[in-house]
């Protein structure tokens, strides 16, 4: 299951947002970019760079573990 966090297919994500919201693909891309920008601005630099790597299609290795660590930022484990 950890492999799902190692690479994020931006086109697939944008298509999912477009399909689920009824937004045009260009508007869905804007929405995705806005949310990802917000998340990256709130994450520690090391986690934001891992997210950038996953978005670029690179292998992050520790992104799944980093995602699990987010729970602590939001008061959960």
pLDDT in tens, 19-62: 999 999 999 999 999 998 998 899 888 888 888 887 776 544 44
Q: How confident is the model at residue 3 (pLDDT cuts 50, 70, 90)?
A: very low
The label of the residue with tokens 């934001």 reads: 48
pLDDT at 2: 39
The model's pTM is 0.61
Is the pLDDT assigned to residue 63 strictly greater than 70? no
- Dihedral of the CA atoms 36, 42, 44, 46 (nearest 10)? 10
**62 neighbors 5 (Cβ within 8 angstroms):** no
């Amino acid at each position: 299951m950890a492999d799902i966090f190692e690479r994020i297919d931006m086109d697939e994500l944008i298509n999912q947002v477009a399909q689920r919201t009824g937004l045009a693909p260009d508007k869905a891309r804007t929405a995705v970019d806005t949310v990802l920008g917000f998340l990256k601005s709130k994450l520690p630099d090391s986690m934001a760079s891992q997210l950038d790597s996953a978005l670029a299609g690179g292998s992050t290795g520790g992104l799944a573990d980093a995602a699990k660590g987010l729970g602590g930022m939001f008061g959960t484990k």
